[in-house]
Chains A and B, each alone.
Chain A
Amino acid sequence: MAYASLIRNFHNFTCRVLSTSNRLVHNVSPNVWEEKHRSESDKPTFMRNPYKYKKQECILCKLNIKPDYKNVRLLSQFQSRFTGRIYGRHITGLCKNQQRKVEQEILKAQNAGLMGYYTKDVAFCKDPKLFDPNHPFRPHKY
């Protein structure tokens, strides 16, 4: 008991000495130095959670592209090259809104004679792939 109080007294004493003289600060251990400066600069700072994932967005929303029936090259990227079928949302990785728009525009293009119902333009078959039908964003129903 007496030993603990002695240590505390000694600690208080050193702190007082250190606070009065600036020169001594360089020679003391970092623990004491820390205690002195805690009140000013070592307060916890607020920052955003660095481990939070970035919000996922579909490719059309991310690049701010509006599907248009005249842009056949873009629309045919969402179509099978073998059957001309429009891929589903689980494969294309689009959000509901964009997928609906893409389907609408493809239908408009097909009706206007710009795009085939069961065929894909040969020139567009080697376009870069936005997704892989064999590895869908969400699992198949079957």
Chain B
Amino acid sequence: MPIYELPLLLRIMPKPEIVSTLKRAATAIFEKGGFIRKIENLGQKDLPAKTSSHGVVSRQAHYFVIYFDVPPKHISNLEDIFNRDIDIVRNRIYKHDLTVNNKPCTLEDELKPPPYRRDVQKLLKITERQESRKKKFSYKSGLNYYPFQK
């Protein structure tokens, strides 16, 4: 099971209700055969823009991030459950990024003038090949004039 992250924005409400909403979200994950690794509370913050959800306009929200594992086939089902919960202003499910950046920085190559860049050189090679494949009109046709319109 891959790790997922669920940024969860809850509408402004008293603490016991927040707890019950989080419990609802957690039990939904457990029922799908998943488990929760971690819950982060980012606190109450202003939304970047006023957001209307389930007929209520909210300007602030309680921010939570839930890290959980669940079989991938249940993700769309979970999204549907969270979208229908009226206490949740917004939710997204992202895959937890475990990749390590091993690629060397290519900035130096990119700052070179175009003909020295590797990707430009590749393009030039491609066009060269295409040009060589094109049929060129041969002037050794025995005519002493050009047969086509110029």
CB neighbors of A among B27-55 (8 A): 42, 47-49, 51
Question: Chain B at the A interface: mostly helix, strand, loop or mixed?
Answer: strand
**B97: interface (CB < 8 Å):** yes
A113 touches B108 (CB 8 A): no
**A49: interface (CB < 8 Å):** no
**A66: interface (CB < 8 Å):** yes
A58 touches B107 (CB 8 A): yes
A residues whose Cβ falls under 8 Å from a Cβ of B: 55-58, 61-62, 64, 66, 68-70, 89, 93-98, 108, 110-117, 119, 121, 137-138
Measured as residues with beta carbon below 8 angstroms from the partner, the interface class of chain B is 20 to 34
Residues from chain A with Cβ under 8 Å of B94 in the complex: 69, 108, 112
Residues from chain A with Cβ under 8 Å of B92 in the complex: 108, 111-112
B61 touches A113 (CB 8 A): yes
Residues from chain B with Cβ under 8 Å of A93 in the complex: 107
Q: Which of B7, B97, B107, B111 contacts A114 (CB 8 A)?
A: B7
B48 touches A113 (CB 8 A): yes
Write the chain A residue with the least CB distance to B109: A95
Query: Contacts A108-B92, A113-B61, A114-B63: A57 and B49 contacting too (C-beta < 8 A)?
Result: no
B107 touches A94 (CB 8 A): yes
A95 touches B7 (CB 8 A): no
Nearest CB of B to A105, in Å = 9
